Chains A and B, each alone.
Chain A
């Protein structure tokens, strides 16, 4: 079965410090992974997709198939990074792309 685990419900760091949000997955096939971000009372937005290997808002994430992880990193946190972050695993089912989400990590950046 597909599963995504985000072990930290809450993460608090100081502005300027490095940030790492952990994500581990369980999937027997070739995984396609995403990070979504939800700012306060807003809709979820796509932050990163592992296939694109882009850096968005200073965030990067590398897929490690050996450790089945897709951790999100940023070298210097900013206050505007405070938000809820969800890791998600994509699976194809009957012509649709189904996303399985982790439980989410609430990131708070302290001034």
Chain B
């Protein structure tokens, strides 16, 4: 089983460009999450989706939007990228206890 798959693995954007980070899970989990990982700050929750059809803001949602396309897929969109969004982004899914993480997307905004 693939678990949680994220694409792309690496991306460089120019300030103001937009992009969508894709995440898919094949474990039939209800809940999905997007975190960003920054040195010295741990992982911070951007958005989450408790179940198909619902999304909610996390700790640091500004500058991001999400779509829970179906039970498997949860995408994160940056409408107008800023250098402060340079980070490693992790998607995760959960059946209700414990997360399974994707391998991450390393995003650089120049």
A interface with B by C-beta (< 8 Å):
4, 6, 9, 32, 34, 36, 42-46, 49, 86, 90, 93-104
Contact = CB atoms under 8 A, between A and B. Distances in A.
Contacts of B101: 43-45
Secondary structure type dominating chain A contacts? strand
14 contacts: A43-B90, A45-B101, A95-B51, A97-B31, A97-B94, A97-B96, A97-B97, A97-B99, A99-B43, A100-B45, A101-B35, A101-B43, A103-B40, A104-B42
Interface string B41-72: 11111001111001010100000000000000
Given A86-B43, A94-B54, A96-B48, 16 more contacts: A4-B42, A43-B102, A43-B103, A43-B104, A44-B99, A46-B98, A46-B99, A49-B97, A94-B50, A95-B50, A96-B31, A96-B50, A96-B94, A98-B58, A99-B33, A101-B42
A103 B41 contact: yes
Interface residues of B, number: 27
A46 B56 CA distance: 24
Nearest to B99: A99
A105 to B, nearest CB: 10
B31 A103 contact: no
Contacts of A49: 97-98
A95 B31 contact: yes
Nearest to B45: A98
Interface of B: 30-31, 33, 35, 40-45, 48-51, 54, 56, 58, 90, 94, 96-99, 101-104
A6 B99 CA distance: 20
Contacts of B35: 101
Contacts of A94: 50, 54, 56
A9 B99 contact: no
